[in-house]
A and B are shown apart, each in its own frame.
Chain A
């Protein structure tokens, strides 16, 4: 039963990843080519999801949209993990004022949610894939730092760490040999859930018109465009939202699945 969650998550994530990979070599139609004669077609064998307000095949745009969803997720989560995890381990390992400073820094960043930070950046630099990735990445750092710190504190209390320290292992060697391997699964869970949050934030930015600019197809901007035709072509609003939900559900399930498989204590509670 527990593995079901993991495998379901893996399957949904696999679906999104393969959509992105397929879009690199093949899409049914050109995702940028405007065809005025084909405006707002309903689903048909030629266009399984119909066409949008510019007459562009929605299936092709959905496939390419998967690329941007994954790109923003990968870059922002990697950035956040590379900064957050070492900071968290440092805070947990050294403690004292170092921990205090790190925790207060995470408090400050927590007060600036990804969306707000991205809006601020977009006001200065104009909205782009880069500002979206930067804002989401920075806003995700505290989650990694806090998770890593909590995990480190737990590991530091274990007997094997005491033994290692008695043998003279400390500092970076201790972190690399004993702490990191024991909190890696925790970081993996955080990465997967952070990925889901990043997809939601990227889509919201696209919807607000502050993410990757047109004409690049992203799921968020597709939904923004679809709202114009809510009364005439309501199906337009269905597909991009469904795509976002599938991707987010996939990464959330994957994260929960990893947690359940690696941490038996949390099985009941989560």
Chain B
């Protein structure tokens, strides 16, 4: 088992290296022109020279890559040549906002999807199960930002229960914090839940066909009891993959949701940097998000080993339904 966990750590490292190379090469696509892109066409030659020197653009590409990756590994994300702030200082106050949004959103989606998905699996030949599947299919088609706009329309414009934008830190005003996060979290949670319901349903439908479940039914257990005792752990294996994928998707979804509700999170920092063409901030923020996605996938891979004893001795992890 240790060897398997170690191998997966190796895969994680290789992917991280590959992804960092991709991000670096794309952001340095225009050799030497990065300073021009950042400062615009009306920049003075002196300013261009200063930014070029600051970014080390006079050095060869591979040296710059190693300097950048070395900085990332030691926690130095670079300094924005436009605002002159270290990227880390720009990011720090925003990480909490995005984390709250993603974690609460995913939590909410699991709370919604798990019971609904189990219900849809148990009642799959009845109207109720059919209705849940249909609702999930419709929910999957709703773009996250439209969902956010509609919720803002109902709860902020018509009912005036909740604010439609802005953010207050938890430490300053817990009630205000909850009110400002309610709609974004609801938006992300509902949209993610629609996708999750389908996976929960098919995971449990698959389990319902297993022999051990038939045996449990044969000794007189109700389908529900059998599902709780034997089904959940078996379904969990495929569900862990999906929740992992969902976490990664929620991270990207958060960028859009932050925009809908003007939350000062990582996503709004990224989009702000894109509009200002602050490539140092863009590059660092994208890399941070990529690192998060890879780390989530790695955790998912390792958690198979913990949930499913069969994985420890034979076979590879089950392929996620992409």
Give chain A's interface residues, CB within 8 Å of chain B.
104-105, 107-108, 110-113, 115-117, 119-124, 142-143, 146-147, 150, 196, 200, 203-204, 207-210, 223, 226-227, 230-231, 234, 237, 240-241, 244-246, 248-249, 252-253, 256, 268-270
Contact = CB atoms under 8 A, between A and B. Distances in A.
9 contacts: A113-B249, A121-B26, A124-B26, A207-B145, A209-B275, A223-B145, A227-B149, A241-B146, A270-B202
Interface in B240-295: 248-249, 252, 255-256, 259-260, 270-271, 273-275, 277, 279, 282, 286, 289-290, 293-294
A225 to B, nearest CB: 12
A249 B141 contact: yes
A113 B271 CA distance: 16
Given A204-B256, A248-B140, A112 B274 contact: no
For A112, A123, A146, the residue with the greatest tally of chain B CB atoms inside 10 Å of its CB is A123
B175 interface: no
A269 B274 CA distance: 43
Contact of A111 (B138, B205, B275, B297): B297
B184 to A, nearest CB: 14
A230 B151 CA distance: 11
A241 B124 CA distance: 30
Contacts of A227: 149, 260
Contacts of A245: 138, 141-143, 146
Given A104-B11, A207-B256, A270-B202, A124 B143 contact: no
Contacts of B170: none
Contacts of B297: 107, 110-111
B58 to A, nearest CB: 20
B304 to A, nearest CB: 15
A200 to B, nearest CB: 5
Nearest to A235: B153
Given A104-B11, A119-B274, A208-B259, A268 B322 contact: no
B76 interface: no
B252 A124 contact: no
Contacts of A234: 153, 157
A240 B145 CA distance: 12
B15 A249 contact: no
A19 B274 CA distance: 33
A99 B30 CA distance: 33
B99 interface: no
B153 A119 contact: no
Contact of B146 (A104, A147, A244): A244
A116 B286 contact: yes
Contacts of A124: 26-27, 29-30, 37, 279
Contacts of B252: 113, 115-116
A269 B202 contact: yes
B248 A113 contact: yes
For A115, A121, A146, the residue with the greatest tally of chain B CB atoms inside 10 Å of its CB is A115
Contact of B150 (A104, A112, A208, A237): A237
Given A124-B27, A234-B157, 18 more contacts: A111-B15, A111-B19, A112-B23, A115-B255, A116-B255, A204-B143, A204-B145, A207-B259, A208-B256, A208-B259, A209-B275, A226-B149, A237-B149, A245-B138, A248-B140, A256-B137, A268-B124, A270-B202
Nearest to B282: A123
Contact of B18 (A104, A113, A237): A104
B14 interface: yes
A113 to B, nearest CB: 5
B144 interface: yes
Contacts of B19: 108, 111-112
B209 interface: yes
Interface string B15-29: 100110011001101
A157 to B, nearest CB: 15
A142 B322 contact: yes
Contacts of B256: 115, 204, 207-208
A142 B18 CA distance: 15
